[in-house]
Amino acid sequence: MWRAAKVLSGVRRVSETAAWKWVRKLGEKVSIKPPRIVRRLIAFDVTCVKANRSEYRVYAAIDVDRNEIISRRVFPSGSSLATKLFLEEVLKYCEGEPSFTVDSAPRLTAALKETGLGYNVESFRR
């Protein structure tokens, strides 16, 4: 969300919370139903946003080769269970076993290790 807020701030000052709210509203109107196909590499990320005095975790998975959103979801916590549920959802849209790229978030790497999926760690921020 910080990237979206940063880009939009070039036009008008926008907070991460506002960007998060827009993503939720867009998600209600736009259905993301990617096809189940072979995917080589998926960027898998989670970020914390605050709204209405509460913290939420926004998970996102993007097919790097196609620049396609595979899935995005908001959870009230970033628990191991939420991470595993999201990963299972992403894998529904994948034939075979894709490789993942993640930042160093321990829950993301732990979930991928448990499933035996390949991954590499790199920072998404520049």
- The answer to whether the beta carbons of residues 70 and 42 sit under 8 Å apart is yes
Q: Give residue-wise pLDDT tens across range 5-64.
A: 454 455 556 677 776 677 677 666 566 678 999 999 999 999 888 877 888 898 999 999
Domains of the chain: 36-121 (3.30.420.10)
pTM strictly above 0.75: no
- The letter for the amino acid at 67 is N
- The answer to whether the beta carbons of residues 69 and 62 sit under 8 Å apart is yes
State the residue for tokens 């993007």. 62
| Alpha-carbon dihedral 107, 125, 5, 65, rounded to 10 degrees | -80
